[in-house]
Chains A and B, each alone.
Chain A
Amino acid sequence: MPVYGASLLSISLGLAVLTIFLLVFFLRRDDDRFFFVAQRTSLSVCFLVTLATVTLLASLVKGDFDVDYVARYTSLGTPTLYKFTAIWAGQSGSLLFWLFILCCYSAVVLLQNRNRHEKLMPYVIMTLAVVQTFFLLLVNFVANPFSPVEANFPVHDGLGLNPLLQNPTMAIHPPMLYLGYVGFSVPFAFAIAALFTRQLDAVWVRSIRRWTLFTWLALGLGILLGGWWAYNELGWGGYWAWDPVENASFMPWLTGTAFIHSIIIQEKKNMLKVWNMILIFVTFVLCIFGTFLTRSGIVSSVHSFTASSLGPMFLTFVFLILVVSIYLLLTRLDDLKTERRLESFISRESGFLFNNVIFVSICFAVLWGTMFPIVSEAVTGTQITVGAPFFNQITIPIGLILLFLAGIGPLLAWRRTSKESLIRNFSIPVLTGLGTVVVVMGFGVRAVYPLVTVFLTAFVTATVVLEFWRGVTVRTRKFGENPFIALLKMISKNRSRYGGYIVHMGIVFMFVGFIGKAFDKDKEWSMLVGDEVHIAGYDIVLTDLNEEERPNHFAWIATLDVVKEGKDVVSLHPEKRIYFHRNPNPDRRQPHSELSLYSTWREDVYSVFGGIDQDKELLTIKIMVNRLVRFVWLGSYLLLFGTVISLWPSRGFVKGA
């Protein structure tokens, strides 16, 4: 099995390199046969990599412990689901998984465009083949997932999967992130093709619009699932910690979001051609850079893989991408010149442009904060850590400006907006925002940021609701439809527009959730059974402590009765677990706190069993009362729903989109 897997990867590498040569030959000789062979060799690479991935999965499930990767990340006791998910638990397996997704995407691009974009496709396939070659080099020569185990005795069991990764969310979060990271290769390949062929009109932009949206959605969902996992599994009570690896996924999402907005301008107004090229290059480079940050070990993070020799190879690849991209961009500047200029400061075009500037500014701030410890260490020899306060101080105000722009965008007309339109469109949203602030102040809230956020969330909500209401009114008046049918038809005929508004509402709900952070409470106690503690109006009683031996761990289970104003609310059962508890080597046993949570729209009561003094039966219990967290998850659902609506092809759908 491992020999077969390794051979498949070697043949794939040869075929990927052959694809590049065949395409170069085709472009020089203009003989279609070489192009058709290149298409087939490229499809063969996809097939072989898929076969290699299936081979590794089979080894993981079967427990081929003579394969180093299998012995490191699974054991006889690992549940079957987590034997599958172990494929992305380690360096080499996850690189193969990256490559597998890239191959799936490449195959779809190839098959989808068999008879389309004749001029662009050779360059698209070549660019994808170059990226495939890079990852094939890694999995063949640097981190081969089929390497045999280095032991001179038969290995009968493996080390097992990290308990933190034994969570259902972990079965979805990494693939989602990968779908996002890898997916940006496709728009990047089309951008490179457009530059090579000088076919810089709206065709390439239209060709990748759906790809970009899908990829952006996958990356966004990956990030949100990571937040969900952190909140429900790690036990520190938050969903975002500005960890370098989290930031690495957030940065391409930011520039990708800017790109999604700015390609609308190129499609509609033939403007921002250079800017769009820069954005997609930066986004792709950030995807590779993020992969580098996670794998090189240069940043310390709970999410990163151990330090490896992959760093220089990734940096070289990033450098090559930058050199080629910048060269193509500079030599095609004349073709990228746009005939139009911004006509007015108060127009939808400038709204989009400001939104782009803001997204890129946040990305730059996050990049600076992420890289500062490394830069400071290189310059001064001392690593200066940049923590959450730095990121919050910079990104909160900029994020609020972004929220404001999400509100005013739909209210502005293309080209220029007259004063009458401005007054008519802004009055209701502004009054709604101010009214909501007054109501919230009535509840005693005086802090500036929460109040500004409340104003903006109400303002944006009003603009979106107004847009829907006006659209429905037009249809009911014009076609005599009932409001519900009018709403459905209106959305179905303008999917990208109304899908976009639903995504904006998702972002609004997330901001509502972020407001809650300002009012969180937490406290830690040492408790004996029978003890009672109080936090944020809740009385919490430790009523029981049990022990349980389970297949792959041992658990102490606390029972905490939560009471509010004399009424029983819920019983929470946080656990302290010891994974690999039967291992004779105590260093190999892994403690883990499994939290227990009671969630409502207003707040979550979040309990963590931190530790136990077995002699005194004294438990360390931490309780957090986290406000409005559910709104963050509600926002995620809306983000998903809105993007799916935007992605759904309408009847008048332009081919190639």
Chain B
Amino acid sequence: MMALPFTLLLLAAVVATLGFRRSSELTWLAALGATLYAFYEHAGEALNIAL
């Protein structure tokens, strides 16, 4: 789900702006995990490398 990393990052930014530092850092960590999972889903797409 590609929208999940952006949603979590938005949540982290809003939470930080409201003054909750530790919660926002944890939300960022979850967002980073979602971002890396999205990358994992697309990392296997064909490479155009001629060897």
User: Are A and B physically bound partners?
Assistant: no
Residues of B at under 8 Å CB distance from A?
none
